[in-house]
Copies of this chain bind each other. A is one copy, B any other.
């Protein structure tokens, strides 16, 4: 059996090397302040912060969240302090850890994405950008950027021009063919794709006959969506050669390993953080234990190792 200390866990995202594949998902870890007392950031592969826009945003009115079976809906409405305040007030705190910082970027126009990317690239302590393309495209009547391959190509290319940081394009699952979108991102120069963002959903209070979310619809996350996320990672893995970061309902090390097996090089832990602030650490430890008992010396050997021919006798 391999010794857990000898196991290679490094993951490359463009020019950035993460020491291991475990990071929180954007929007479930704030700007990294609150969880510093729970999690030793020095051990994480990276920290991914809440989505940032050019100007501060107030977000949606409450109620913003509701529990559903095996998950939750959220419609935070991209509340954030804006990219400038982030750099000034939040980044210095994160810079003290031996851990990559990935900034999640949000825009309502291609120009806003570009601008935010540019500003973040000039800031010391940001190591990669994650472009959230599940946002309503104001110019195109609120249809999400991430549902059209050409728009994705356009945004990705423009953001790449604006930065020399590795660019991760975060894909929306609310599409017919997510692999097609991923290929678009790759063609336009994305260093990696991350998926999935939330699935749009709804929940109704039958007494008042109103939505349980003030915004009417919200994004579904949590273990309920894990099967969909896994399938999408699998579909994308068959079509792209850049690294994939798997996201969606990861609650346990076993869940994370499933994502690695279908082709994710790294994973993000989202909603699980809201239930257990130690989730990222627990999952990292569990992945290492799995590698150990499975005699896998380098995590790369696990990535994409799904056997598609299934012997009947298990």
Identify the A interface with B (CB < 8 A). 61, 68-71, 73, 147, 174-177, 199-206, 208-211, 214, 216-218, 220, 222-228, 230-231, 234, 249, 254, 257-258, 261-262, 290, 305-308, 310, 312, 314
Q: Taking A211-B308, A290-B206 as contacts, is the C-beta distance between A224 and B70 under 8 angstroms?
A: yes
| Chain B residues with CB below 8 A from A73, complex form | 227
7 tightest Cβ-Cβ pairs between the two chains A and B: A201-B227, A70-B70, A224-B224, A69-B223, A69-B70, A202-B231, A204-B258
Q: Is the beta-carbon distance between A307 and B209 smaller than 8 angstroms?
A: yes
> Can you name the residue of chain B whose Cβ is closest to the Cβ of A73?
B227
Shortest Cβ distance from A200 into B: residue: B231
Chain B nearest CB from A309 CB (Å) reads 8
State the copy count for this chain.
2
- Chain B nearest CB from A138 CB (Å) reads 18
The reply to whether B176 and A206 contact each other, CB–CB distance below 8 Å, is: no
Report which of B175, B201, B307 forms a contact with A176, defined as CB distance below 8 A: B175
| A228 lies within 8 A of B200 (CB) | yes
In the complex, the answer to whether B314 meets A208 with C-beta atoms within 8 Å is yes
What residue of chain B has the Cβ atom nearest to residue A204's Cβ?
Answer: B258
Interface centre among A209, A218, A307 (most CB of B within 10 A): A209
For the complex, give the distance between the alpha carbons of A262 and B212 in Å: 12
Chain B min CB distance to A148 (Å): 8
A-B contact pairs, 16 of them (CB 8 A): A69-B223, A69-B224, A69-B226, A69-B249, A70-B71, A175-B175, A175-B176, A199-B227, A203-B227, A205-B314, A210-B307, A210-B308, A211-B306, A217-B231, A217-B234, A220-B227
Does the CB pair B209–A261 fall under 8 Å?
Answer: yes
Q: Is the CB of A203 within 8 A of B258?
A: yes
CA A211 to CA B309, docked complex, whole Å: 9
Cα A46 to Cα B199 in complex, Å, equals 31
Q: Which residues of B contact A218 (CB under 8 A)?
A: 227
A216 touches B308 (CB 8 A): yes
CB-nearest residue of chain B to A253:
B206
In the complex, what's the smallest C-beta–C-beta distance from A204 to chain B, in angstroms?
Answer: 4
